[in-house]
Structure 1
């Protein structure tokens, strides 16, 4: 019944609530959906290690795992795809981003590279994949071959200054620049977005778009909304995000109910 349907869910604020928990009703509906042949995919800005942690904790596995906002895609056993920031942009990005003096971390395919340990109260990862690099700016410039994301912590006005400098020097179409929370900015390849990752999964599974459902709550999820007529803003999504989705649902379980009803 569900073998031709795909559900793609963001993690924080969508599949999980603010406390990192999923309601039991939604969890059981996800499991039933998968048992009925449905395709279920987690798509998040987190590292792949965090997706696997949540899968183990909840007792189910998604058919594909999209991590780092679409930069890395795995199936249940092997890596399928990853996209790094073009090396020709690294020197300029390093100078601009590290030059503002804000805490900046850089990810590669498997790890987060930290300039120093995080304050324990600021640790959001479920699984610590971090490596401390004392001179991170030089390491990224001279040694790191596969940088996927710059993650900078600060405030909106500071992020706007970074955006303006990057676009002035590299152009508006060089890289993606996204506020992933009120206090975090991510910069990654222009070839990367959650939406583009979902497109790849649709092609892999050879599904029709009207049978694809996406759910999210933040700016980084909006690109997923545009690949299907069945996009949902969920939980505490702000009005600006809800306006860009086709529908609103309180939680993922409600979306699955709609899928079974044939919406």
Structure 2
């Protein structure tokens, strides 16, 4: 399996709604890695959460892709990529995002920054790397935080003024604005996507596209689907996501089973 790369999202993909990996998938991924396969986690979470999951799994990939592709680190914790939002866009983004009065959190390469503490039930990270900064806009403008992602909470209707203000002040396609869930809106560099990050790692590892397998369940994963014919939607992925993948399987373990089956057919 040393010529195969398997890239996997975390929430709703490798992990179920309870943040757990099923035992069958765990066993199959472990064997895949033991057989020389390249396994990489690619998530919107922070890098610290990937490290936590890898420790629980008992094995680590050659690299870790976090923050939807804005941050990539190798297994020795060295930076491969850190893509921040261009500084010239920050004043306009601050005005557009913070003026709506919605809760906004801002990440950089290592931490999430919050304007106030969260309630315990709102903490979704495995490892809390957060810092409390009451005046986030001022801290960002002063260059104390170099944002990778602005994350705003609300709903589709409340996000519309933000989207329009960004488009009016910066123009189209200067940054990526994506609704990552019904209640969350992310703004990040237009150079960032999971697909771009995976393509960088694929080339770095010398893996051909035909030997790349990608697995996800959400809109942010679709940019990976275009890289290979082995694109899988899993678990509770919505129909629109499944339609953009090549295949649907229930779990990542089922995807690994497909890899072994296809390898066996190739070697006949």
CA distance in 2, matches of 1:160, 1:210: 40
How many residue pairs get matched?
262
- Per the TM alignment, residue 144 of structure 1 is displaced from its structure 2 partner at its CA by 2.6
Q: Which runs of 5+ in 1 are unaligned?
A: none
> For the residues of structure 1 that align with 2:230 and 2:250, how far apart are their CA atoms?
15
Which whole-Å CA distance do the structure 2 matches of 1:246 and 1:230 have between them?
6
Instruction: Look up the match of 1:223.
Output: 223
Once the two structures are overlaid, the 10-residue window that deviates more, 217-226 or 58-67, is 58-67
3-state SS of paired residue (1:144): coil
Write the distance in 1 (CA, Å) between the matches of 2:176 and 2:163. 10
Q: Any conservation in 1 of the 2:195–2:227 contact (CA below 8 Å)?
A: yes
Give 1:129's aligned residue: 129
Which position in structure 2 is the counterpart of 1:234?
234
Q: Measure, in 1, the Cα distance between the counterparts of 2:161 and 2:225.
A: 28
1:145: Cα distance to partner? 4.8
With the length of structure 1 as denominator, give the TM-score of the two structures.
0.97
Counterpart in the other structure of 2:62: 63
Q: 1:147: how far off?
A: 1.0
In the TM superposition, residue 56 of structure 1 has moved relative to its aligned partner by 1.0
Q: Distance in 1 between matches of 2:87 and 2:39?
A: 34
Q: Which residues of 2 match residues 37-186 of structure 1 at below 5 A? A: 37-77=36-76, 78-186=78-186
SS in 2 for 1:243: helix
1:46-80 deviation digits (Å, cap 9, x = unpaired): 00000001111222212210000000001101111
Counterpart-to-counterpart distance in 2, 1:194 and 1:261? 27
Q: RMSD in angstroms over aligned alpha carbons?
A: 1.0
Deviations 1:10-49 (A, max 9, x none): 0000000000000011001001001111100000000000
- Moved runs in structure 1, 4+ residues, more than 2 A? 143-146
Quote how far apart the aligned CAs of 1:142 are.
1.1
How far off is 1:87 after superposition?
0.3
